[in-house]
Structure 1
Amino acid sequence: MNELQLLREWDEDAPPLADTARARARFRLYQAMQAPAASPTVPRRPLLRIAVAAVAAAAVTTTVVVAQHTGTSPRSETVSATTVLRGAAAEERRLEKPLAPRDDQFVYTKEIVKETPVGGGRSRTYVDESWSSVDGSKRSYVSELEHTQWVPPYQPGQGDWPPRRWSQLKKLPTDPAKLPIALRDGGGRANYDRPMRANEWPQVQFLLSGLLRNPVLPKGLRPATFEALATVPGVKVLPGHTDAGGRPGIGIQYVGPAGTPWADGGRVLVFDAKTYQYLGARDQRKAGAVTYEQWSYVAAHGVVDRVMQRP
């Protein structure tokens, strides 16, 4: 897509970019600066939802609280990011209900976002419902903090990466060892004989995280994504996190190398402290001089035949 054309079409009345959007923009600039001058530009369309730019994992170990009320004091246990993410993959395989949408259908997502000003203040809860065209041939209707808009169909040569098209998603390997390489190589013909380089991991974790934002994936792809994240260097385990209902959880946060958008750490993915089931994410958002603590999770999703229809 021509970025100058996007600039010309920019709506000056639109709300300011969230921190995750700014991080994504910085990362794309960073990648462009690192790429050879002769490297071709891959056409793409803006993601319907701003892609998460913040989780990955390595075998970083810390002590986290995994049980409460054991008689005298909370019981602690040493848990690694690898353990948490592999546990999340196992739980996903146990619970997943595979869907296979047709190209003419829509993926429905209902996301709940709760924000509280840092330092105290009134909380606000947003309910975002979105309908995304499966193959991009129809207009999609999306919501971001209850700011809604119609997104036009794909133009020839346009698309998203990671892809939303079901035909493209089905081509991605469900082998967690191959998935990062397939994403690194753009989803085309992957060179599985060439190992990952250190400077390629930030982009790969970005793309893996983007896959997790898609609520509907082919069977086995989400568990593989969790397991692939467990191989990415740069994650730490954070104790003391809870979900919206106050249940104890384990946080996973990616911290990238200097010069990347995640050098100071990204958003935190929260997993159930006992089952490792994914619960949602904690993040921060700045609006002017105000910083908000943000909790978000997907409350419902499914496949429907038309916009405004719910599963």
Structure 2
Amino acid sequence: MNELKLLREWDAGAPALTDAARTRARFRLHQAMREPGAVTTIGRRPLLRVAVAAVAAATVTATVVVAQNTGASPPTQTVSAATVLRGAAAEERRLEKPIAPRDDQFIYSKEIIKETPVGGGRTKTYVDESWSSVDGSKKSYLSELGDGVWDPPFEPGESIWPPNRWSELKQLPTDPVKLPFALRNLLGNPEPDRPLRASEWPLVQFGLSGLLRKPVLPKGLRAATFEALATVPGIKVLPGRTDAAGRPGVGIQYVDPNMPRGGGAQVLVFDAKTYQYLGMRDQRTEGGTTYEQWSYLVAHGVVDRVMQRP
């Protein structure tokens, strides 16, 4: 089953939703992505913690004043979301080590996730190691909050988002101007020559956020994703954030004012000086308990078989 086709045709031919109905639908989708293990299924294949980040096109990009730790009376510097994300793109290009996996290989990733109940409680740490088939022809082993599962090979014509197949990822443009249009055409309505509508930006942001969850991307694609996010309306900056290791950082958040309480629990954290991407803060709810969640990638690479490490 082609899940991207299902996504594109989700509301095809249906009457337009009222504002109230659209708000309820967005809230249910957002909450479903946060259920135990945050596993959402479209068709038969689970999409593991795809980052949903819907924004309102009417919201302007925020600018904040961030204090620099340079002395007793630190100067201030105006930092915008675009500055942070473009800085992250430049840092990604500087540090990037391109790879070219073979179709018969696997993408390996090791991610650390820390969770603490909101309001206080014991912090739990999970180590997730996953092996994804490069061309989808072999069984993959995927881990979520410490629980591993064997994922069967792709069926002919089957697609998911974000793509697992390296060949599909390589088809995405590394031009940050073209990338949002490519995602709109892939996930929404394929109309290459039409400008993006305000109502399509949430879907574009969904696509961009999903790409950032991939541990390994073709050369230039992650940097282009950061730069493309800088063009999405509705981004705000959160100064004074820290990553899971306590390092100073600055947060970037996507807020949908149509969702209850504004939504937007997810925060991407970048180094306060270099803007290198450090990890993600999010929330999830299970059994009536809401958890603050930190996740960050500690290792990745290409290997020849499942359970092998770089």
TM-score (norm 2): 0.82
SS in 2 for 1:210: helix
Q: Distance in 1 between matches of 2:163 and 2:280?
A: 22
Deviations 1:85-121 (A, max 9, x none): 0000000000000011111111101000011112221
Aligned CA distance change for structure 1 residues 126 and 81 (closer, same or farther; 3 Å):
same
SS in 1 for 2:82: helix
- What residue in structure 2 maps to residue 105 of structure 1? 105
- What residue in structure 2 maps to residue 268 of structure 1? 267
SS in 1 for 2:46: coil
CA shift at 1:63, angstroms? Answer: 1.7
Aligned CA distance change for structure 1 residues 20 and 112 (closer, same or farther; 3 Å):
farther
- What residue in structure 2 maps to residue 183 of structure 1? 183
Aligned CA distance change for structure 1 residues 235 and 191 (closer, same or farther; 3 Å):
same
Q: Distance in 1 between matches of 2:87 and 2:230?
A: 10
Q: Distance in 2 between matches of 1:137 and 1:186?
A: 22
**Identity of counterpart residues, as a percentage?**
69
Is 1:308 the counterpart of 2:307 in the alignment?
Answer: yes
Aligned CA distance change for structure 1 residues 129 and 19 (closer, same or farther; 3 Å):
farther
Q: Which runs of structure 2 are paired with 1:125-140 in the superposition (5 Å)?
A: 125-140=125-140
Aligned CA distance change for structure 1 residues 280 and 197 (closer, same or farther; 3 Å):
same
CA shift at 1:83, angstroms? Answer: 0.2
Q: Letter of the aligned partner of 2:223 in structure 1? A: P
TM-score (norm 1): 0.82
Unaligned runs of 5+ in 2: 4-28
Contact 1:18–1:285 at 8 Å: present in 2 too? no
CA shift at 1:177, angstroms? Answer: 0.5
Q: Distance in 2 between matches of 1:189 and 1:2?
A: 15
Bigger drift between 288-297 and 198-207 goes to 288-297
Q: Which runs of structure 2 are paired with 1:118-267 in the superposition (5 Å)?
A: 118-186=118-186, 191-258=191-258, 263-267=262-266
- What residue in structure 2 maps to residue 299 of structure 1? 298
Q: Which runs of 4+ in 1 moved over 4 A?
A: 17-20, 55-58, 187-192
Q: Distance in 2 between matches of 1:182 and 1:86?
A: 20
Is 1:50 the counterpart of 2:49 in the alignment?
Answer: yes
Q: Letter of the aligned partner of 1:258 in structure 2? A: N
SS in 1 for 2:237: strand
Q: Letter of the aligned partner of 2:303 in structure 1? A: V
Contact 1:272–1:278 at 8 Å: present in 2 too? yes
Q: Distance in 2 between matches of 1:157 and 1:77?
A: 50
Contact 1:55–1:209 at 8 Å: present in 2 too? no
Contact 1:44–1:158 at 8 Å: present in 2 too? no
Deviations 1:104-144 (A, max 9, x none): 11110100001111222111111000111111111111111
CA shift at 1:46, angstroms? Answer: 2.8
Q: Distance in 2 between matches of 1:192 and 1:87?
A: 29
Q: Letter of the aligned partner of 1:95 in structure 2? A: L
CA shift at 1:58, angstroms? Answer: 6.0
Aligned CA distance change for structure 1 residues 288 and 44 (closer, same or farther; 3 Å):
closer
SS in 1 for 2:114: strand
Unaligned runs of 5+ in 1: 4-16, 30-41
Is 1:59 the counterpart of 2:61 in the alignment?
Answer: yes
